[in-house]
Amino acid sequence: MQLKPINQQVVAIVGASSGIGRETALQFAREGAKVIVSARNQAGLDSLVEEIRQAGGDATAIAADVREFKQVQAIADKVIQQYGRLDTWVHLAAVELYASFEQTTPEEFKQIIDINLMGQVFGAMVALPHLKREGRGALIHVSSVEAIRALPLQSAYASSKHGINGFLESLRVELMHDKVPVSVTEVQPASINTPVFDKARTKLGVKPMGVPPLYAPADVAKVILYVAEHPTRDIVVGDAGKAITLLQRLSPQLVDAFMRQSGFEAQRTDKPKSEDAPTNLYEPISGYDQVNGEFPTQPSLTTWLDTHPTVTWGAIAATAALGAAALLGWGNEV
């Protein structure tokens, strides 16, 4: 499957007002793509479009609540109205709740499923006809490492991410069966330093945080741009994410023990935060229209290797050659 170069693409990014989505829009625009950005937060979208245009990029905003199919449909309609086609759909709108399952209300659980899972489903539904008409394109859905391994205190969020994984596996195979040239990618970030921890509802009594180590939103955005040009099934962002998903496949019981021991305290800061503090669970909140949160980050070697496959295979080949030379030398010495 041949996808267009970034500078020839029209890209829709849903969930773009802050964090990974905002950084992704900025990176696509810098590379010459035409971008349509969407989120519930009109002010955040307006500041993003202004930032892109001041840098010489091409961007259009449309506010939408992804719980409503008609509003998601309006995003796709705006893309076609503005640019005449769609090449890549990036969907990452999500909300978060930190609470035990027993503390979680039915309304909270449903809200998270409606935004995080059904929003992704609606996105694929409205984007797919346009991608098929173009004869190629990419559906890029950002879930989480929690699509593979859930954390405690996040039962609703983890359920929504597991749902995305199952939905995309089914959709991908259907498109393959029908020989539809659309790439379906699931991007699974580990803990990422975004404003989500400021915006999330928490019943922990303190501000939550991602399980360390945390990685930069820019790392995820680079991966998204990479898979927009290179068809990829799924990709984990962050060395720790790679490790935990591997351990989950090898021994879920071992990961259970690890989570029981350290998964609770690792998600807590020492900064008090009330359950009644403003959050974006039901409505957007102002003050967080930015890419990064407040936590330190570290680089991810495995993510860099995933997006530089020629370097990866070159390193493997070089290692193999050195190994063969060492064996031959050893044999000669014997």
Catalytic residues: 157
| 208 backbone dihedrals φ, ψ, rounded to 5° | -80, 170
CA distances from residue 254 to 55, 100, 155, 161, 265 in whole angstroms, order as listed:
49, 21, 19, 22, 18
At 12, list the tokens: 């829709």
Q: What is d(CA 131, CA 171) in angstroms, rounded to the nearest whole number?
A: 14
Q: What is d(CA 132, CA 129) in angstroms, rounded to the nearest whole number?
A: 5
By DSSP bridging, strand 10-14 and strand 34-39 are: parallel
Residues forming beta bridges with residue 185, ordered by sequence position:
140
Q: What is d(CA 208, CA 280) in angstroms, rounded to the nearest whole number?
A: 14
Do 96 and 154 contact (CB within 8 A), yes or no? yes
Amino acid at 131: L
Complete DSSP assignment for 134-163: HT-EEEEEE--GGGTSPPTTBHHHHHHHHH
| CA proximity to 203, closest of 314, 60, 292, 98 | 98
Residue 130's H or E segment, with its range, is helix 119-134
Give, in degrees to the nearest 5, the angle at Cα 190 between 187 and 191: 130
| CA proximity to 213, closest of 145, 283, 115 | 145
Do 46 and 61 contact (CB within 8 A), yes or no? yes
